[in-house]
């Protein structure tokens, strides 16, 4: 089970949010199947938050 602080790899683009496949960090666990993720670019700048 993923934990807060784990780095994840988004492997698909989300065109409706103008996001390309990128890395992110889990910042909150809602339950065993839902997480809040901060998505960043190569420089570590925050692009978006997704749940």
Model confidence over 17-33: pLDDT tens digits? 888 888 899 999 998 88
Q: What is the dihedral of CA 14, 23, 10, 20, to 10 degrees?
A: 30
Mean pLDDT of 2-16: 93
Rounded CA-CA distance 31/18 in Å is: 27
**pLDDT > 90? residue 12:** yes
Rounded CA-CA distance 42/29 in Å is: 24
């Amino acid at each position: 089970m993923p934990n807060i602080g784990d780095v994840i790899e988004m492997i698909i683009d989300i065109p409706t949010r103008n996001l390309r496949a990128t890395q992110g960090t889990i910042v909150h666990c809602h339950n065993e199947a839902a997480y809040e993720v901060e998505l960043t670019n190569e420089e570590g700048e925050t692009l978006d938050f997704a749940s």
